[in-house]
């Protein structure tokens, strides 16, 4: 029983799993923040492209 307790107290495999979990959470938060920041500018870029294509389609119809 003493040997089991000693092994239990010195086992660090759970700490490693927690560290990997924290790293994964940090990467996820960074990815979400980056995508949020890019999301607005991507929406604007696609809006400009859509507007240009709409104008070109209208011009093609009238000619």
Here the tokens at position 13 are 């495999």
The pair phi, psi for residue 11, each rounded to 5°, is -75, 125
- pLDDT tens, 4-60? 887 777 777 777 888 899 999 999 999 999 988 888 888 889 999 999 999 999 999
CA angle in degrees (0–180, nearest 5) for 40-44-50? 140
Alpha-carbon distance of 32 to 36, in angstroms, equals 6
Cα distance between residue 16 and residue 10, in whole Å: 13
pTM over 0.95: no
- Residue 62 or residue 50, greater confidence: 50
Encoded tokens for 53: 């294509």
Q: Where are the domains of the chain?
A: 13-62
């Amino acid at each position: 029983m003493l040997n089991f307790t000693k092994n239990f107290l010195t086992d660090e495999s759970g700490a490693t799993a927690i560290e990997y979990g924290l790293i994964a959470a940090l990467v996820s938060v960074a990815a979400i923040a980056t995508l949020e920041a890019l999301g607005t500018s991507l929406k604007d870029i696609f809006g400009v492209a859509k507007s240009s294509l709409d104008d070109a389609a209208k011009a093609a119809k009238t000619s």
